[in-house]
Amino acid sequence: MEASMWFAFIVILVMSSCVQGQLKTGFYSSLCPRAEAIVRSTVEAHSNKDPTILAGLLRLHFHDCFVQGCDGSVLITGSSTEMSAPPNLGLRGFDVIDDAKSQLEPLCPGVVSCADILALAARDAVDLSDGPSWPVPTGRRDGRVSSASEVSNNLPSPLESVATHRKKFAAKGLDDNDLVTLVGGHTIGQTDCLFFRYRLYNFTATGNSDPTINPSFLSQLQALCPKDGDGSKRVALDKDSQTKFDVSFFKNVRDGNAVLESDQRLWGDAITRTIVQNYAGSIRGLLGLRFDIEFPKAMIKMSSVEVKTGTQGDTRKVCSKFN
């Protein structure tokens, strides 16, 4: 087991040094030696006040990468930017990125990009949730475009089928294993009743609930989200351990206890179901360890999607504004 774990770590190291573009691990080691430590301490300070911000940072990075690539375009404020698009209205963690940037800019002016701060913060968020850590390739430049109209066509929606998600992931160079593995990030975090309440009451033409929901879990969800209740009420995406990065999310999908429809649909597709089964496992800890290995590999792939490097893009002075 020790030898296999060592081999897996070597694979992650190799992946992190061979990502697309000109990203490389330790990009700031001489340019701004304290960059990664400052991002880490900032994430930790915010999570001490609000542990749920960790899941918010992971989701923020995901939403950034699927539109215009991992270029910090989701961080731009404005009436027609990505941030203003309906799927992004619940995003959190902007203040953490701004805080880290405000510390880094006086120390290393115009050096550390907002896109890199977000990628590093996502890694630290997983690590601080008792999940794996990994070397993050850095050297991203910040994008100069942020458009709300591009969000829905690129970002996967919880209402979409596995086939549609598969196409959206494939468009970013991500395969079925990446899809299931990255959705496994739902092992931490919450969602609003608004995004799944339709499953509980009027899912079918006859007005019944979604038949894929475990009956005992259905009653729990209905108690949390009454039919005419507050749609903004937050509910854990992983009913068993919402602040711990583990494989219980996959066990929930297997057992009909997924909150989002798109998460539960992973069990209805033959290919994604097999991957879920592998992660859920029947041997405690053994296959769970595999998710710890696969998640960093998938994150390294996703965080290198359509990155800007070299002379492309900018390095913003303030993450919420173009230079």
Annotated binding site: 64, 67, 69, 71, 73, 82, 156, 186-187, 238, 246
Give me 184's structure tokens: 């496994």
**According to DSSP H, which parts of 94-243 are helical?**
94-107, 114-127, 151-154, 162-170, 176-183, 215-224
78: left (phi over 0), alpha (psi -120 to 50) or beta: left
Q: Are the beta carbons of 84 and 7 closer than 8 angstroms?
A: no
Quote the CA–CA distance of 164 and 169 in Å, as a whole number. Answer: 9
Give me 162's structure tokens: 């596995």
H or E element at residue 289? helix 286-302
Quote the CA–CA distance of 108 and 30 in Å, as a whole number. Answer: 11
Determine phi and psi for 236, rounding to 5 degrees.
-65, 135
Catalytic status, residue 63: yes
Please state, in angstroms and as integers, the Cα–Cα distance from residue 109 to each residue in 76, 105, 121, 224, 315, following that order. 19, 5, 19, 47, 9
Among 65, 50, 53, which residue's Cα sits nearest to residue 121?
Answer: 53
Active site residues: 63
